[in-house]
């Protein structure tokens, strides 16, 4: 058995996928150069209201209540990809028959999904979850299933041997015959498949040739062609072209929510998760000054005066594959709050990099660690508070330059892994004494040092003078003298008298200037 | 019949049958984890999970030494830890030497001057207050996310007068956030400020800075370049403990040892 998924009025169906609110309203899709725009497709409600494909835009606009949308090839491609995803969720043998039409082989699926009627209902439900109201037909051969899907609404299941009887009422033009044959059949008064199937085969061959014989076979539901399976590409991209430029984050979040919902549904259909999200915002051109507002409340007057880019791209990588639309939306919102687009947005494209989902069940006795989804959200929020570059896991650099480190993105280290440092640090494993800690002043505090016989006797910093009680040094340290960032200094460890008693500091001299680097604590 | 008498009678009659309904829920004793310093563990029993612990003391009192020891112990247990550094004073090199696995430590650095509003009309608070608020918000986010073994809030460089002005409701919210979780919440500061919200308050003090000397009888004879800061002699005292009864003025001394001193 074979099943066919077919989306009637495909351009309209592709558009409605991202605007489900228009599903019961008369909608038409227009295409063409400005002032020459014509209706490309219309849904059933629009056709009932008098809209016909090919109608001029002005005529269509005269009809009250009709919603008009621009034709979008990107939306059609995404809708077709979603249809393929729905079919691939059931069978690995899927044929990409035409735009908005997909065939799949149901052989061997009975033990998994039940009888053909149940499979057809499950297919329709899967498509509905992806925002597609498609027709489903099941028949013994691909062509019969395809013609049934194109001709009958809803779910159609044709039992083997019943093809001629079930397809009979359908019009002949559903077979898409060449125009001259269609004209001949019309002259003969043959307008349904039943009438074409009833004609004598030899007479049809004599008058219409081989093409006529093939058409009659199709009309009888006798097509026996082999399915041409394809491997649907793992491309998860959703695009929405906006009618009006968006200047606020809140309405943009609604758009992103719709796109993410579709992306997550498609990934779930293929049993995949996202390891990366890429957001591309098409920007309005010829904007001289603009402020993208992250909220409706009055914000700080930060107006961008120069706009050169036409797209604004953002990328969010996840340490582990994830599939949570709400989390993705929050992360994108936080990212856009930190990096707002420099002009009003007119087009939104969201791409997900697919990856196998991580194993669902963790061990019972794993050490404490935040959940990856919560951690990502928390890091994004922390980035808003303190700055993205000021949080993470520190990594020591392989140099003797003081305070040489870099910040890496914080990830939950896997249990049992022990991450070493690049630097030759004497690492403690289990110390009998606590290790003396050092607190840095960033930047080092400028100081005035009074010396006697080359030894500091008092240090003036933070607005107060302190007497040196004890000291050790100096130690000369230098490095990277072969580069422009070379450094050389003379360090002292001093214990200073304080109000609480005493405190130990590290001071150093660079050239003729003295600094307090930090305190021992 | 007074309500108290009625209640007493009801308790006497039904207390055996419905003990949970008539008595407050028993609070289980919190799990204690090691501070990483044996002397402090012996004194205070350890750091309580699901509670707020304050580590107080002036400069060079050993607060950061105790913090790093606790972080090292937690990362040794392979737990994820977080440090909110209000004054941007954390030294990764010193932490690595103390045994902290830096890859398991989320370091949140407040104190970025570039984020402080520069224009006078938008600047309504002082810089220290701005960074303190940053640190409190960051700690709040970390505690709400959960999953960390230790969350440390380092207010060691925040003036005590400013730290004491943090509303008690903030500390109460933090305490509620970690309650019934396995997180150890550490607060590092100069003077206690969380008041009743803290389950354990440790006060540290520097007794002496220890320098090596070749002439122990008269250290002044040593050339200064031949001497080394060997460490600090520290005193720790339990100011308040809601975990167990301690003798008054319980205190103990321990030594911190510099990495270069062996």
Closest-CA distance, B67 to chain A, in angstroms, reads: 9
Rounded Cα gap, residues B160 and B154, in angstroms: 13
Residue B75: domain span: 31-212+222-261
Mutation target among A334, A386, A492 for the B interface, most CBs of B within 10 A: A386
Q: Which of B99, B232, B258 sits opposite A428 (nearest CB)?
A: B99
| Model ipTM over 0.85 | yes
Contact of B91 with chain A, judged by CB distance below 8 Å, is answered with: yes
In a domain, B82, yes or no: yes
Closest-CA residue of chain B to A493: B229
In a domain, A116, yes or no: yes
pLDDT tens digits for B194-208? 988 999 999 999 988
From chain B, the residues in CB contact with A521 under 8 A are: 59-65, 156
From chain B, the residues in CB contact with A430 under 8 A are: 99
Q: What confidence score (pLDDT) does residue B122 get?
A: 55
Beta-carbon separation of B145 and A378 below 8 A = yes
In a domain, A401, yes or no: no
Q: What confidence score (pLDDT) does residue A383 get?
A: 92
A13 and A121 part of one domain? yes
Q: Hey, is B67 helix, strand or coil?
A: helix
In a domain, A366, yes or no: no
Q: Hey, is A456 helix, strand or coil?
A: strand
In a domain, B69, yes or no: yes
Closest-CA distance, A399 to chain B, in angstroms, reads: 11
Instruction: List the structure tokens of A2.
Output: 């074979």
pLDDT tens digits for B20-61? 665 666 667 889 999 999 999 988 889 999 999 999 999 999
In a domain, B141, yes or no: yes
In a domain, B91, yes or no: yes
Cis, peptide link before residue B133, omega less than 30° from 0:
no
Residue A260: domain span: 236-297+305-355
Are residues B200 and B241 in contact, defined by beta-carbon separation less than 8 angstroms? yes
In a domain, A265, yes or no: yes
- Domain of B176, CATH number, reads 3.40.50.300
Q: Hey, is A403 helix, strand or coil?
A: coil
In a domain, B3, yes or no: no
Main-chain dihedrals φ then ψ at residue A438, nearest 5 degrees: -125, 135
Beta-carbon separation of A439 and B64 below 8 A = yes
Main-chain dihedrals φ then ψ at residue A284, nearest 5 degrees: -70, 140
Are residues A62 and A41 in contact, defined by beta-carbon separation less than 8 angstroms? no
pLDDT tens digits for B1-11? 788 888 888 88
Say how many CB pairs under 8 Å bridge A and B. 253
Alpha-carbon distances, residue B104 vs A55, A431, B31, B78 (angstroms): 65, 20, 22, 7
In a domain, A407, yes or no: no
Quote the Cα angle for B36-B38-B41, to 5°. 85
Beta-carbon separation of A413 and B61 below 8 A = no
Number of structural domains found in chain B:
1
In a domain, B97, yes or no: yes
A213 and A245 part of one domain? no
Are residues A387 and B112 in contact, defined by beta-carbon separation less than 8 angstroms? yes
From chain A, the residues in CB contact with B231 under 8 A are: 433, 436
Rounded Cα gap, residues A349 and A313, in angstroms: 10
Beta-carbon separation of A371 and B147 below 8 A = yes
B251-257 and B229-241 strand pairing:
antiparallel
Instruction: List the structure tokens of A100.
Output: 């908005």
Number of structural domains found in chain A:
3
Contact residues for B125 (Cβ-Cβ < 8 A; gap 6+): B133
A90 and A14 part of one domain? yes
Strand order in the sheet with A273-283: A236-246, A345-355, A273-283, A311-322
Rounded Cα gap, residues A49 and A60, in angstroms: 10
Query: Which of A185, A219, A253 represents a domain boundary (last residue)?
Result: A219
Are residues B140 and B174 in contact, defined by beta-carbon separation less than 8 angstroms? yes
Alpha-carbon distances, residue B198 vs A363, B193, B240 (angstroms): 33, 9, 8
From chain B, the residues in CB contact with A427 under 8 A are: 96-97, 99
From chain B, the residues in CB contact with A377 under 8 A are: 145
From chain A, the residues in CB contact with B80 under 8 A are: 367-370, 412-413
Q: Which of A418, A472, A519 sits opposite B211 (nearest CB)?
A: A472
A513-520 and A501-510 strand pairing:
antiparallel
A204 and A333 part of one domain? no
Contact of B177 with chain A, judged by CB distance below 8 Å, is answered with: no
Query: Which of A191, A219, A247 represents a domain boundary (last residue)?
Result: A219
pLDDT tens digits for B169-197? 999 999 999 998 999 999 999 999 998 89
List beta partners, residue A493.
A472, A506
A193 and A329 part of one domain? no
- Domain of A80, CATH number, reads 3.30.70.270
In a domain, A68, yes or no: yes
In a domain, B8, yes or no: no
A291 and A166 part of one domain? no
From chain B, the residues in CB contact with A382 under 8 A are: 108, 138, 141-142
Instruction: List the structure tokens of B14.
Output: 């039904």
Beta-carbon separation of B90 and A440 below 8 A = yes
Main-chain dihedrals φ then ψ at residue B115, nearest 5 degrees: -85, -10
Beta-carbon separation of A500 and B58 below 8 A = yes
Are residues A345 and A252 in contact, defined by beta-carbon separation less than 8 angstroms? yes
A13 and A137 part of one domain? yes
Look at residue B139 and tell me whether its pLDDT is greater than 90: yes
Rounded Cα gap, residues A488 and A491, in angstroms: 10
Q: Which of B93, B137, B257 sits opposite A436 (nearest CB)?
A: B257
Closest-CA residue of chain A to B80: A369
In a domain, B25, yes or no: no
A83 and A183 part of one domain? yes
Mutation target among A302, A374, A435 for the B interface, most CBs of B within 10 A: A435
Instruction: List the structure tokens of A440.
Output: 């840095």
Are residues A135 and A127 in contact, defined by beta-carbon separation less than 8 angstroms? no
Q: What confidence score (pLDDT) does residue A423 get?
A: 47
A149 and A250 part of one domain? no
Q: What confidence score (pLDDT) does residue A197 get?
A: 87
A314 and A258 part of one domain? yes
- Domain of A329, CATH number, reads 3.30.1490.100
From chain B, the residues in CB contact with A504 under 8 A are: 60, 206, 209, 229, 232
Instruction: List the structure tokens of A250.
Output: 């809140």
Cis, peptide link before residue A36, omega less than 30° from 0:
no
Contact residues for A120 (Cβ-Cβ < 8 A; gap 6+): A3, A136, A137, A138, A155, A156, A157
Q: What confidence score (pLDDT) does residue A273 get?
A: 94
Return residues 55-84 of B near A (CB < 8 Å): 58-69, 72, 77-80
B28: phi > 0 → left, psi -120 to 50 → alpha, else beta; which?
beta
A115 and A143 part of one domain? yes
In a domain, A373, yes or no: no
Q: What confidence score (pLDDT) does residue A121 get?
A: 94
DSSP codes of every residue in A288-346: SSB--BSSSS------B-----SEEEEEEEEEEEE--HHHHHHHHHHHHHHS--SS-EE
- pLDDT by residue, tens only, chain A of 521 residues: 899 999 998 999 998 888 888 888 899 999 988 888 899 999 888 988 888 888 888 888 888 888 888 898 988 999 999 999 999 999 999 999 889 999 999 988 888 889 999 999 999 999 999 989 999 999 988 989 999 999 999 999 998 888 888 888 999 888 888 888 888 888 888 888 888 888 888 888 888 888 888 888 888 888 778 888 888 888 899 999 888 899 899 999 999 999 999 999 999 999 999 999 999 999 988 666 566 666 555 544 444 444 456 889 999 998 889 999 999 999 999 999 888 998 899 999 999 999 998 776 666 777 778 888 889 999 999 998 998 899 999 999 998 899 999 999 998 876 666 555 444 444 444 556 789 999 999 999 999 999 988 889 999 998 899 999 999 989 999 998 898 888 999 999 999 998 888 999 999 999 899 999 999 99
Between the CA atoms of A122, A125, A126 and A129, what dihedral angle is there, to the nearest 10 degrees?
Answer: -160
Rounded Cα gap, residues A506 and A519, in angstroms: 6
pLDDT tens digits for B59-84? 999 999 999 999 999 999 999 999 99
Q: Which of B38, B64, B106 sits opposite A521 (nearest CB)?
A: B64
Closest Cα partner for A263 from A273, A253, A254? A273
Return residues 157-176 of B near A (CB < 8 Å): 157
Are residues B50 and B182 in contact, defined by beta-carbon separation less than 8 angstroms? yes
A244 and A214 part of one domain? no
Closest-CA distance, B149 to chain A, in angstroms, reads: 6
């Amino acid at each position: 058995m074979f099943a066919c998924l077919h989306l009637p009025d495909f351009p309209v169906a592709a558009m409605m996928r991202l605007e489900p609110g228009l599903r019961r309203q008369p909608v038409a899709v227009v295409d063409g150069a400005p002032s020459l725009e014509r209706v490309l497709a219309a849904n059933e409600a629009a056709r009932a209201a008098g809209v016909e494909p090919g109608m001029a835009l002005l005529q269509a606009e005269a009809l009250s209540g009709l919603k008009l949308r621009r034709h979008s090839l990107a939306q059609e491609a995404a809708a077709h990809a979603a249809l393929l995803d729905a079919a691939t969720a059931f069978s690995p043998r899927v044929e990409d028959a035409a735009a908005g039409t997909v065939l799949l082989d149901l052989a061997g699926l009975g033990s998994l999904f039940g009888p053909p009627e149940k499979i057809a209902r499950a297919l329709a439900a899967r498509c509905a979850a992806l925002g597609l109201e498609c027709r489903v037909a099941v028949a013994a051969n691909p062509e019969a299933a395809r013609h049934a899907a194109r001709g009958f609404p809803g779910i159609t299941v044709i039992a083997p041997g019943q093809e001629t009887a079930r397809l009979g009422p359908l019009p002949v033009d559903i077979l898409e015959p060449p125009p001259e044959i269609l004209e001949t059949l019309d002259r003969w008064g043959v307008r349904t498949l039943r009438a074409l199937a009833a004609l004598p085969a030899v007479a049809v061959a004599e008058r219409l040739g081989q093409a006529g014989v093939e058409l009659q076979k199709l009309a009888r539901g006798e097509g026996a062609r082999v399915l041409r399976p394809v491997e649907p590409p793992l491309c998860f991209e959703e695009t929405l072209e906006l009618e009006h430029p968006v200047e606020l984050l809140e309405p943009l979040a609604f758009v992103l929510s719709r796109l993410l919902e579709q992306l997550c549904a498609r990934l779930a259909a293929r049993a995949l998760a996202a390891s990366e999200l890429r957001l591309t915002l098409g920007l309005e051109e010829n904007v001289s000054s603009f402020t993208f507002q992250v909220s409706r409340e009055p914000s700080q007057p930060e107006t961008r005066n120069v706009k050169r880019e036409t797209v604004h791209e953002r990328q969010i990588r996840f340490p582990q594959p994830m599939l949570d639309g709400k989390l993705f939306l929050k992360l994108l919102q936080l990212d856009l709050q930190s990096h707002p687009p420099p002009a009003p947005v007119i087009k939104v494209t969201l791409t997900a990099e697919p990856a196998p989902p991580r194993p669902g069940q963790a061990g019972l006795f794993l050490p404490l660690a935040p959940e990856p989804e919560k951690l990502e959200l928390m890091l994004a929020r922390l980035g808003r508070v303190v700055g993205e570059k000021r949080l993470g896991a520190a990594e020591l650099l392989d140099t003797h330059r003081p305070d040489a480190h870099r910040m890496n993105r914080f990830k939950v280290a896997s249990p049992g892994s022990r991450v070493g440092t690049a630097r030759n640090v004497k690492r403690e494993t289990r110390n009998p004494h606590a290790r003396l800690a050092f607190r840095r002043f960033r930047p080092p505090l400028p100081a005035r040092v009074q010396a006697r016989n080359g030894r500091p006797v008092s240090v003036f910093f933070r607005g107060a003078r302190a007497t040196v009680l004890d000291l050790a040094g100096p130690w000369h340290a230098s490095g990277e003298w072969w580069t422009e960032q070379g450094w050389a200094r003379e360090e002292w460890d001093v214990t200073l008298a304080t109000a609480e008693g005493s405190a130990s500091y590290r001071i150093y001299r660079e050239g003729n200037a003295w600094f307090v680097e930090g305190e021992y604590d | 019949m007074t309500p108290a008498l009625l209640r007493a009678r009801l308790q006497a009659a039904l207390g055996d049958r419905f003990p949970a309904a008539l008595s407050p829920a028993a609070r289980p004793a919190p799990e204690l984890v090691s501070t990483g310093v044996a002397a402090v563990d012996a004194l205070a029993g350890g750091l309580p999970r699901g509670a707020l612990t304050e580590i107080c003391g002036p400069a060079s009192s050993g607060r950061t030494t105790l913090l790093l020891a606790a972080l090292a112990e937690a990362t040794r247990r392979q737990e994820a830890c977080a440090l909110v550094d209000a004054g941007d004073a954390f030294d990764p090199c010193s932490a690595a030497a103390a045994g902290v696995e830096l890859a398991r430590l989320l370091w949140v650095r407040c104190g970025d001057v570039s984020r402080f509003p520069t224009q006078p009309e938008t600047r309504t608070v002082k810089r220290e207050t701005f960074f303190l608020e940053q640190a409190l918000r960051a700690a709040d986010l970390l505690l709400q996310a959960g999953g960390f073994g230790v969350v440390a809030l380092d207010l060691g460089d925040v003036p005590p007068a400013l730290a004491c002005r943090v509303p008690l409701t903030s500390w109460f919210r933090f305490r509620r956030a970690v309650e019934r979780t396995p997180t150890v919440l550490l607060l590092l500061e100069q003077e206690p400020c969380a008041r009743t919200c803290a389950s354990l308050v440790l006060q540290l003090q520097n007794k002496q800075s220890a320098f090596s000397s070749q002439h122990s009888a008269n250290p002044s004879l040593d050339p200064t370049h031949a001497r080394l800061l060997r460490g600090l002699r520290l005193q720790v005292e339990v100011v308040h403990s809601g975990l167990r009864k301690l003798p008054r003025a319980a205190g103990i001394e321990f030594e911190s040892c510099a990495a270069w001193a062996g």
